[in-house]
Amino acid sequence: MHCFPHVTGCELAENITYLGRRGVFSGTSGLQIAYLSGTESQEEPTPAYSFSSKDVTELKSSLLSTPNFKGVDILLTSPWPRDVESFANSPGEIDTKKCGSTLISDLAASLKPRYHFAALEKAYYERLPYRNHTVLQETPQHVTRFIALAEVGNKSKKKYLYAFSIVPMSLMDSAELVKQPQDVTENPYQKLQKRAQKTKVLGCAEEETACQFFFDLNKHHGKKRPSDGKDRGSSQTKQAKKPPQPTGPCWFCLASPQVEKHLVVSIGTHCYLALAKGGLLPDHVLILPIGHYQSVVDLSSEVMEEVTKYKSALKEFFRSKGKRYVLFERNYKSQHLQLQVIPVPLDYTSEDIKECFITQAQEQQMELLEIPEHSDIMQVVQPGTPYFYVELDTGEKLFHRIRGSFPLQFGRWVRCFLYPSISRSPPFSPTLFLPAFCPYLPHPFPPFSLLSLAQGAVPGTDAVCPAGRCWPAVPCWRSLSAPTGA
């Protein structure tokens, strides 16, 4: 770069133009191209062949200050953005956590290019398109496609050219512009943005505290210093976060005397499976956390992992019976999470099931929205928010944000429309359901499966599962308190 006659840009030869260190180039068609040359540098002053955070800030400001700015058509950079492979296909031998630039990630997140090209790593990589908005929280926006190109004439014959057709954003219909492809993923720079925001907030807090020290020395906040001169509050060992405790009797906490323990099918380390007391079908089951959690979005990663294991086991079990399942959760006027899992005939397509839910929701003047692929409920709603959630065994999801009243039996109503000819029948006994379900439990499952009791073993003995998948029997659940690890 230092060999160019003018670092601000110049024509090198006919039809070959060096754009300069940074800026925006607008073609006669209206195509807008943002560019940033060189590699990231922390040096001051910044070398001519590098860029600094100041360059990124000024480039962002020149565009973000434009009225009704939606993004740019193309972004050209030398380095790859840091973490670009998050939520997407692997770039192979390139480790973006070591080679990527966080400044480029910040630039891409702010400018929202439709296409982002980089070539510093001399490798070809076409990432899955990612969205530039938060689903169900922000207005839909266009997607970004990141393409890395190899060097020209490389011996490995890696791709160094990329041909594509593009209509300038300014000339496109809004609905066409924001269309989301099937393989779209979450934005890979979310964590970096949150981290930067947190650092900014902490920096402001520290600055405010420093100022306060000088102008208000007489105020007293917080805890009084103990008489022995030690800050006891900070010396205590940090405890692992525990689930909140119920404010009153809970019918679903496993250690509670109110729980219907005779319906329990299987107990894991963090979750348990039970037959529904008022199920519409004999094999209507519930997945419930052992600890007191109100909704899926409140679950810890360990609990969520075990919920996923139970869902996988139920999927295999129902498929073996010529069925598939529909799962729904109502986080409204309930204090303990209940994931209702109801089987439907295997020949019901996903579209059939979704259409049934959406149609019934419309009759109740409710809007059920589909959560895009590669997203989950935890990304679209905050803990404490009332909602109704549907999940198919294919991973497809529907979501309704409850803002007023909500029919408590909505999920059951839809179930009746899916099975209009079937009246409610008494549930299976665990002694009938568990022997059939046991072979589909993950192996080994935590040591609280109750198959031995279902097979007629005496509570408290060392009888084991004939299938070899369960651990030895545990004491009868009628006297069972919460298992270790709950």
At residue 460, the pLDDT reads: 36
Is 242 within a domain?
Answer: no
280 shares its domain with 179: no
- For residues 347, 349, 354, 355, the Cα torsion angle rounded to the nearest 10 degrees is -90
Is 225 within a domain?
Answer: no
Q: What is the CATH number of the domain that holds 178?
A: 3.30.750.180
- The beta strands (E) that lie in 230-373 are given as 264-267, 271-275, 285-289, 323-331, 339-345, 369-371
Q: What is the CATH number of the domain that holds 458?
A: 3.30.428.10
Q: What is the mean pLDDT of residues 215-237?
A: 41
Q: Which residues span the domain enclosing 426?
A: 261-479
Is 251 within a domain?
Answer: no
Residue 460, classed as helix, strand or coil, is: coil
Is 462 within a domain?
Answer: yes
Q: 150, 174, 192 — which closes off a domain?
A: 192
Higher pLDDT, 118 or 417: 118
Q: 140, 161, 192 — which closes off a domain?
A: 192
Lowest mean pLDDT across 102-106, 115-119, 264-268: 264-268
Query: With bands split at pLDDT 50, 70 and 90, how would you rate the model's confidence at 3?
Result: low
Query: DSSP secondary structure string, 429-445?
Result: PHHHHHHHHGGGS-SSP
Domain count, the chain: 2
Task: Tell how strand 125-126 and strand 143-148 pair up.
Answer: antiparallel
Is 55 within a domain?
Answer: yes
Of 72-81, 288-297, 319-328, the range with the highest mean pLDDT is: 72-81
Higher pLDDT, 292 or 246: 292
419, 425 Cβ separation under 8 angstroms: no
* Structure confidence by residue, pLDDT tens digits, 124-143: 999 999 999 988 778 899 99
DSSP-derived secondary structure letter, 117: E
Cα gap 301→374, rounded to integer Å: 17
First and final CA of the chain: distance in angstroms?
Answer: 61
| Confidence check: pLDDT of 450 > 50 | no
Residue 343 identity (one-letter amino acid): P
Is 208 within a domain?
Answer: no
22 shares its domain with 127: yes
58 shares its domain with 155: yes
Host H or E run for residue 25: strand 22-26
Cα gap 259→253, rounded to integer Å: 7
286 shares its domain with 177: no
Higher pLDDT, 226 or 50: 50
272 shares its domain with 421: yes
At residue 224, the pLDDT reads: 40
139, 102 Cβ separation under 8 angstroms: no
User: What residues form DSSP beta bridges with 25?
Assistant: 33
Report residue 134: phi and psi, to 5°: -90, 125
Query: With bands split at pLDDT 50, 70 and 90, how would you rate the model's confidence at 8?
Result: low
Residues across the chain: 486
184 shares its domain with 296: no
Is 420 within a domain?
Answer: yes
341 shares its domain with 434: yes
DSSP-derived secondary structure letter, 81: B
49, 39 Cβ separation under 8 angstroms: yes
Alpha carbon of 182 to those of 319, 372, 373, 374: distances in Å?
26, 8, 8, 10
187 shares its domain with 334: no
Is 136 within a domain?
Answer: yes
139 shares its domain with 284: no
160 shares its domain with 267: no
382 shares its domain with 287: yes
Q: 140, 159, 192 — which closes off a domain?
A: 192
288 shares its domain with 392: yes
| Confidence check: pLDDT of 352 > 80 | yes
At residue 397, the pLDDT reads: 92
Average per-residue pLDDT for the chain: 77
